[in-house]
Amino acid sequence: MKSIQERVKEKPWLGWVLFFTTVVVVFLLGLFASSIVERRNESFTLQMVKPINDWEPRNEVWGENYPREYESYLKMADTTFASKYAGSATRDYLNSSPELIIMWAGYAFSKDYKAPRGHSYSIVDIRNTLRTGGNKVSPQPATCWSCKSPDVPRMMQKMGVENFYKAKWKDLGHEIVNPIGCQDCHDPKTMDLRITRPALLEAFKRQGKDIKNATHNEMRSLVCAQCHVEYYFKGEGKYLTFPWDKGMTVEKMEEYYDEANFKDWEHALSKAPMLKAQHPDFELFSMGVHADRGVSCADCHMPYKTEGGVKFTDHHIQSPLNNVENSCQVCHREKTEKLIQNVNERQDKVKELLRAAEKTLAAAHLEAKIAWDNKATAEEMKSALQFIRQAQWRWDWVAAANGVGFHAPVEALRV
């Protein structure tokens, strides 16, 4: 077999072909290496196009510096995805479960209760819901704004936290205009995750815990826990408070409320002193297997993604079932259809018990009303009304949490 040198001597043009081929290959390899270095530098360099003020509430200003995150954030405006029980599409719960109207008689939730559409609609939806008055003058306190906008921390800094809570909801409407976004969770100077709502810090402080030194992974859940929790408005000042002093279980929070002799409202039919759970997502999640394994909220609802060699957090906050490949399948190797089936099966069991409880509770309120109409005494009704309070609190603690119990199926079914 002839060597390359011998072949080139016989056919000189082969030498030129080899030469130019080598030049092209080296050139392409150089471009490839340069691209890798450029992308790596890009991924490690914080490129601030425009300075961001300490309490800047406008998400589009942050977006000038972080276009990838901002573009993904804007996708939350899409409300087309619906899983079996949740998703970004809105649902009218009063229509699908009419028993709720009886269960919440005399309370604002009996007027309007829909599935949340996502952070993009936090301002629009709270303005339009009948629970805040709709187009009428609202009787609600400014505390109702607390988790709806990055304008809230700005106003708390300006007014003071107590004065913010004491104000009327209607009086701050012209100031609260930007939907939930960047400043709610990030430090504008370092982009580190930070807590901007004092209620969370105060709740942990009363437990003897300081979360200011929490790890980055812990913060990927704690920033969500600023709002996705059970809370109430304490005292005449309507001070936003998390009832965690005794613990985060349904029983411990109930004990807290009982000792404070607190009720959200007196039921219009049964006259029971009722509690209304908000959305104890963090509390329920904390009792589940994912939290036990160190998984954060963001791992599932805001998974990492890569674009052009840059790894960043996807700010399209959504149901993991609409992004199974980047959320569930990072850890679970089963097929998408199988994973969705597993979720549905767990939620089916929780939903079955919730519906049974709704029918029973609605009947209990009506029966109590009949007892009052037949001249029952307060002493005779006291025990029954306490049972109604306890039962509906347990139902609501699971029903009000997002995820239809999936964050901790065992605990949800126990409750």
Could you tell me which of 133, 136, 97 has the C-alpha nearest to residue 114? 97
39 and 98 share one domain: no
What is the average pLDDT across 60-77?
Answer: 96
Tell me what pLDDT residue 7 has: 57
Centre a 10 Å sphere on the Cβ of residue 188 and count the other Cβ atoms it contains: 19
170 and 27 share one domain: no
Q: 216-241, pLDDT tens digit by residue? A: 999 999 999 999 999 999 999 999 99
18 and 93 share one domain: no
- Residue 99's pLDDT band, with cuts at 50, 70 and 90, is very high
Residue 52 covered by a domain: no
Q: What percent of the chain has pLDDT over 70?
A: 88
Tell me what pLDDT residue 220 has: 98
9 and 121 share one domain: no
CATH of the domain at 370: 1.10.1130.10
Tell me what pLDDT residue 18 has: 53
116 and 147 share one domain: yes
Supply the pTM of this predicted model: 0.87
pLDDT(42) > 80: no
CA pair distance 307, 46, nearest whole angstrom? 16
Tell me what pLDDT residue 10 has: 61
Could you tell me which of 348, 363, 358 has the C-alpha nearest to residue 395? 358
Residue 168 covered by a domain: yes
pLDDT(40) > 60: no
Helix axes 378-399, 336-373, angle to 10 degrees: 170
pLDDT(49) > 90: no
12 and 97 share one domain: no
Residue 51 covered by a domain: no
Residue 50 covered by a domain: no
Tell me what pLDDT residue 179 has: 98
pLDDT(12) > 90: no
Tell me what pLDDT residue 212 has: 87
Q: What tokens does 46 get? A: 């914080």
- Residue 36's pLDDT band, with cuts at 50, 70 and 90, is very low
Tell me what pLDDT residue 28 has: 57
What are the residues whose beta carbons fall under 8 Å from the beta carbon of 355, sequence distance 6 or more?
A: 97
Residue 179 covered by a domain: yes
Return mean pLDDT, the chain: 91
Q: What percent of the chain has pLDDT over 90?
A: 83
70 and 37 share one domain: no
- Residue 293's pLDDT band, with cuts at 50, 70 and 90, is very high
27 and 112 share one domain: no
What are the residues whose beta carbons fall under 8 Å from the beta carbon of 266, sequence distance 6 or more?
A: 106, 272, 273, 274
What is the average pLDDT across 166-187?
Answer: 96
Of the chain, the end-to-end C-alpha distance in Å amounts to 82
258 and 346 share one domain: yes
The total of structural domains in the chain comes to: 2
Residue 256 covered by a domain: yes
Tell me what pLDDT residue 137 has: 72
CA pair distance 3, 168, nearest whole angstrom? 91
Q: Which domain holds residue 119?
A: 59-414
Could you tell me which of 247, 188, 185, 189 has the C-alpha nearest to residue 216? 185
Tell me what pLDDT residue 29 has: 56
What is the average pLDDT across 41-57?
Answer: 72
Residue 28 covered by a domain: yes
118 and 183 share one domain: yes
17 and 124 share one domain: no
19 and 133 share one domain: no
Tell me what pLDDT residue 44 has: 42
Tell me what pLDDT residue 33 has: 46
Residue 49 covered by a domain: no
CA pair distance 79, 360, nearest whole angstrom? 33
DSSP string, 65-123: H-HHHHHHHHGGG----B-SS-BSS--BHHHH-THHHHHTTTSGGGT--B----GGGHH
Tell me what pLDDT residue 132 has: 86
State how beta strands 304-307 and 265-266 pair.
unpaired
What is the average pLDDT across 260-287?
Answer: 98
